[in-house]
Amino acid sequence: MGNSIVVGSTLQQQSEFWTQGVEDDEAWGASVQAIYSKSKVSHQDREAEEGEMAEQEVKKVEAVTPVAPAPVETKGDVADGKVTAPPPPVAAEKEKAATAAEESKALAVVEKTEPAPKKVSGGSIDRDVALADLEKEKRLSFIKAWEDSEKTKAENKSQKNLSAVAAWENSKKAALEAKLRKKEEKLEKQKAEYAEKMKNRIALIHKEAEEKKAIVEAKRGEEVLKAGETAAKYRATGQTPKKLLGCF
């Protein structure tokens, strides 16, 4: 019973120590108090059960312990001077059994009450586990947020680069189309100028041809006129031309 009081006081001191360590966390203090209350109640239940078990053991020992029969004195024993010792009393056996039961009960109480402080430390371990889980959740949520942020940054950067490429493509196309239009305009202008030159040359050629035609016609007229005059002279003189068929 003294051991149970010491263990109970130890449990109470450890509970007070842990309660003072987490006095800022009211929920944790309440959970520790509940654990302590449950351990105290379970400890009392175990003491009652162990007392009942010890009483049952005593009853079993009393029931099982045989009573030694008193030896019968024989004539030979009396003649030889041998005297049989009286049997041990039953009260001594009961006292030994009760002492053994109390010792086993005390040992059982000590053995059972020793792990009680571990429950408080188990609560600390549970708290550490809960804090570790909370820290893990925070870390995972932070990693998830970082991943989403990086993906968003990559997506925005990709869209920006795609927009820049599209703008570059459009500007290059516009520059080439403008250059092509300028070249086409230049070619059209050159074509018009060349066509004008060709028309002028055609006009000059036509004029030269007309002049040549006029010269030919004038020469033909002169030759025809000369031939007529020569023929008239030959008719007047009665001479004949020296050359016949000169035109052939």
Instruction: Give the span between the Cα atoms of 29 and 32, in whole angstroms.
Output: 5
pTM of structure: 0.33
11 assigned to some structural domain: yes
Q: What is the pLDDT along the chain (248 residues), one digit of tens a residue?
A: 444 444 455 555 555 545 454 454 555 556 555 655 555 545 566 666 666 776 776 666 555 444 444 444 444 444 444 444 444 455 556 676 667 666 666 565 444 454 554 444 556 888 889 999 999 999 999 999 999 999 999 999 999 999 999 999 999 999 999 999 999 999 999 999 999 999 999 999 999 999 999 999 999 999 999 999 999 988 888 888 776 655 44
Q: How many domains does the chain have?
A: 1
**pLDDT 10s digits, 176-212:** 999 999 999 999 999 999 999 999 999 999 999 999 9
Report how far residue 242's alpha carbon sits from residue 234's, in angstroms, rounded to the nearest whole number: 10
**Domain that residue 22 falls in:** 2-65+87-114
Per-residue pLDDT at 77: 45
Using alpha carbons, list the distances in angstroms from residue 217 to 179, 203, 221, 248: 56, 21, 6, 20
User: What pLDDT is attached to residue 241?
Assistant: 79
Can you give the pLDDT at residue 160?
A: 96
Could you tell me if 66 and 88 are in contact, meaning their C-beta atoms sit under 8 angstroms apart?
no
Residue found by looking up tokens 């002028």 in the block: 200
247 in a domain, yes or no?
A: no
**Closest among 123, 138, 106 to 17, alpha carbons compared:** 123
Residue showing tokens 């002492």: 99
